[in-house]
C-alpha cells in the first residue's frame, strides 16, 4: 500500500541515498555524527528540498505538494519544540487542531497525563521528550520520522515506546528513526550512512566567507 522510495544525490552530506519501505516497515538510520541522518529525515519530512533525486509516496512525488505531505508525516526533531511558558496541554493544542486527534489520549499513552497542566518549563528533559513523542502520536500520520527518539528517556518509557512502535507498525504505519542506541524496533532494517569523506571536508569551509556577508 505505502511504498516510499528515496533516491537523492546531494553535493555534500548525502550522496545518492536510496531505499524503499512498505507498510509496517521500520528503518534505522545509523552513522557517525555529521553523516547526514537528521538532514535525510528533514528531506523526508518535506522541510528541506533535496538538490537532486525524489521522495516518492505510493509512486507519486511527495514533495510536489508539501502541505499534503505534511499530513502524512509526524516529525520529531532533535529539539522538543515546546513553548516553556505554555502548559503541556496548550503545547499540544496546535497539533491536535491540525490532525483532529485527542491530546489527552496521547498524553496517557506516554504516561504524562498528570503533567498536563504544568508549564513546560517545569518538566525534566525526559518528560519534555515524552511530550514531543505525544505530539508524534497525536499527528495520526502513517509515517513517523524520529530524530533520536530515545534521547533522555528512562527504561520504562523505552518499553512504552516499544509498544507504541509495535501498534503503529501493526496498523500499517512506517517508522524511520535515527539513533545511536538500540531502539525497541524488532525486524527493523538498518541504513548506515557513511559520513564525510576526507575530500569533502574542505567544502563546508569554503561556505564561511559567503555566510559572513550577512
Partner 1 sequence: MKFQIPSLIMAILERDLRLALRHGADTLGAVLFFILAGALFPLALGPSPELLRRMAPGIVWVCALLAALLPLDRLFGAELEDGSLDQLLMTGLPASLIALAKMMAHWLTTGLPLLLAAGPLAIMLGMPSGSMVVLLTGLFLGTLILSLIGGMAASVVLGARRGGVLLPLLVLPLTTPALIFGAAALDAAQTGLSWGPDLELLGAFLAAAIPLCPLAAGAGLRAAVE
Residue 77: CB minimum distance to partner 1, A = 5
Q: How far is CA 81 from CA 48, 102, 120, 138, 139, in A?
A: 18, 19, 10, 15, 15
Q: Which is nearer to partner 1, 126 or 184 (CB)?
A: 126
Give the residue, chosen from 1, 59, 79, 170, that forms a contact with partner 1 under the rule CB under 8 A: 79
Does residue 205 belong to the site contacting partner 1 (CB under 8 A)? no
Interacting residues with partner 1 between 86 and 145 (CB under 8 A): 86, 90, 93-95, 97-100, 135, 139
Residue 3: CB minimum distance to partner 1, A = 20
Does residue 53 belong to the site contacting partner 1 (CB under 8 A)? no
Do the Cβ atoms of 11 and 196 come closer than 8 Å? no
Residue 131: CB minimum distance to partner 1, A = 12
Give the residue, chosen from 1, 155, 205, 214, that forms a contact with partner 1 under the rule CB under 8 A: 214
Q: Which is nearer to partner 1, 51 or 159 (CB)?
A: 51
Give the residue, chosen from 27, 73, 151, 175, that forms a contact with partner 1 under the rule CB under 8 A: 73
Do the Cβ atoms of 120 and 102 come closer than 8 Å? no
Give the residue, chosen from 24, 34, 53, 71, that forms a contact with partner 1 under the rule CB under 8 A: 71
Contacts of residues 1-4 at CB distance under 8 Å and 24 or more positions apart, as own/partner, are 1/58, 1/172, 2/57, 2/58, 2/142, 2/143, 2/172, 2/174, 3/56, 3/57, 3/58, 3/59, 4/44, 4/55, 4/56, 4/57, 4/62, 4/143, 4/174
Instruction: Give dist(CA 193, CA 179) in Å, integer.
Output: 12
Residue 94: CB minimum distance to partner 1, A = 5
Cα distance between the two ends of the chain: 47
Give the residue, chosen from 2, 23, 48, 152, that forms a contact with partner 1 under the rule CB under 8 A: 48
- The helix/strand count (H/E) of the chain reads as 7, 9
Q: Which is nearer to partner 1, 67 or 156 (CB)?
A: 67
Residue 17: CB minimum distance to partner 1, A = 18
Footprint on this chain of partner 1 (rule: CB under 8 A): 42, 45, 47-49, 67-68, 70-71, 73-75, 77-83, 85-86, 90, 93-95, 97-100, 135, 139, 211-212, 214
Amino acid at each position: 500500500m505505502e511504498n516510499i522510495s528515496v533516491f537523492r544525490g546531494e553535493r555534500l552530506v548525502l550522496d545518492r541515498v536510496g531505499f524503499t519501505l512498505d507498510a509496517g516497515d521500520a528503518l534505522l538510520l545509523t552513522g557517525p555524527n555529521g553523516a547526514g541522518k537528521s538532514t535525510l529525515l528533514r528531506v523526508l519530512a518535506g522541510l528541506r528540498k533535496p538538490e537532486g533525486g525524489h521522495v516518492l509516496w505510493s509512486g507519486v512525488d511527495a514533495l510536489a505538494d508539501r502541505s499534503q505531505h505534511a499530513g502524512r508525516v509526524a516529525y520529531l526533531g532533535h529539539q522538543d519544540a515546546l513553548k516553556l511558558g505554555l502548559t503541556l496541554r496548550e503545547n499540544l493544542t496546535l497539533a491536535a487542531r491540525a490532525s483532529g486527534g485527542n491530546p489527552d489520549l496521547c498524553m496517557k499513552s506516554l504516561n504524562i497525563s498528570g503533567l498536563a497542566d504544568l508549564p513546560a518549563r517545569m518538566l525534566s528533559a525526559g518528560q519534555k521528550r515524552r511530550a514531543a513523542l505525544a505530539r508524534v502520536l497525536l499527528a495520526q500520520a502513517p509515517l513517523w520520522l524520529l530524530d533520536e527518539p530515545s534521547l533522555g528517556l528512562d527504561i520504562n518509557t523505552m518499553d512504552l515506546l516499544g509498544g507504541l512502535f509495535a501498534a503503529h507498525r501493526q496498523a500499517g504505519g512506517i517508522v524511520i528513526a535515527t539513533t545511536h542506541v538500540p531502539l525497541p524496533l524488532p525486524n527493523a532494517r538498518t541504513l548506515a550512512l557513511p559520513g564525510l569523506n576526507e575530500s569533502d571536508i574542505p567544502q563546508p569551509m569554503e561556505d564561511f566567507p559567503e555566510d559572513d556577508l550577512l
